[in-house]
Structure 1
Amino acid sequence: MVASRTPGSLGLAILAMVGVVAASNYLVQFPFHPFGLQDLLTWGAFTYPVAFLVTDLTNRKFGPQAARLVVLAGFAIAVVLSIWLATPRIAIASGSAFLVAQMLDIFIFNRLRRDAWWKAPLTSSFLGSIIDTVIFFGLSFAATFALLDTGFGITPDAFPADHAPLLGFAGLEAPRWISWAVGDYLVKMLVSLFVLAPYRMMRSRSDALNAAAAA
């Protein structure tokens, strides 16, 4: 059952979305050095999947129209914050990837919302993350799009040509940003699995509150 939305309830969702995206845009600039994984991951991989949790919970409780409103509002505010926290290029890449991936997430979730409880959030997050990763890392770091900006904390002209072992396999090298993209996507999948637990708990609590209100 879709609940009626209020400005306050959507405001909380928008605030959560802005926080997640702005934090992810800042953290994606920093390699994940623990365990020697700096060639595979950035810190942003651990925070960004929470954006799909926010979208899916909003979609579940208030419907796709409200979820799109949260995405659009979060997108506009987060891009402005990202220009300040990161760089214009990161902000453009993040905004483009975020908007396409989240709208895809809403569409897929809505199509699967009546299936098993885990299928809609997991499928929409997995597919949305693929699109998000390809668009974001391509626009952020590929030499083809260098005209968007130059500053992401490393020598911009040298960075795209900098190679690293793909997923740590010696002899299998790719530009470092591709290695980051693959590693980030794999971590996003793991985080998406972990956030199923809070999704399930929040979904059950929301359903219980809706049932009590209808009684």
Structure 2
Amino acid sequence: APIIGTLVGSVFDTAVFFTMAFSAAFAFVGPNDSFALESAPLMGVFHVDAMRWISWALGDLSVKLIIAVVALIPYRLLAARWSQPAIAA
């Protein structure tokens, strides 16, 4: 369950923040950043052009998911070890 919660929370957080902060659809909320709305190669390396804020959102989500995997693997190993019953001698 921790991985599902992490995935859902990370995707939701990234989508809401970057959409509201940089999307032209939410320009009425605050200043409109023209640099964020310019097209550039996706993630700076792919041949697909996208608005910069989308690349930033994908980068943010990637970092969150990498950290989740790095943190949850040791957690899972420790939890499995703790859940084993003690052997009576």
Q: What does 1:42-61 correspond to in 2, within 5 Å?
A: none
Instruction: Measure the CA separation in 2 of the matches of 1:124 and 1:184.
Output: 17
AA matched with 2:39 = H
Q: 1:183 to 1:157 in 2, by over 3 A?
A: closer
2:39 to 131, 152, 163: 163
Unaligned runs of 5+ in 1: 1-119, 151-155, 209-215
Task: Name 1:190's counterpart in structure 2.
Answer: 66
**What is the alpha-carbon root mean square deviation over aligned residues?**
2.4
Moved over 4 A (4+): 198-201
Q: 1:164 to 1:187 in 2, by over 3 A?
A: same
Task: Name 1:121's counterpart in structure 2.
Answer: 2
Instruction: Measure the CA separation in 1 of the matches of 2:48 and 2:7.
Output: 25
Q: 1:135 to 1:193 in 2, by over 3 A?
A: same
2:51 to 169, 172, 175: 175
* Cα deviation, residue 147, structure 1: 1.8
Instruction: Measure the CA separation in 2 of the matches of 1:123 and 1:179.
Output: 23
Unaligned runs of 5+ in 2: 84-89
Does the residue aligned with 1:195 lie in a helix, a strand or coil?
helix
Instruction: Measure the CA separation in 1 of the matches of 2:76 and 2:7.
Output: 15
AA matched with 1:181 = A
Q: Which has the larger radius of gyration?
A: 2
TM-score by length of 2: 0.72
Q: What does 1:61-210 correspond to in 2, within 5 Å?
A: 120-150=1-31, 156-167=32-43, 168-169=45-46, 171-196=47-72, 197-198=74-75, 201=78
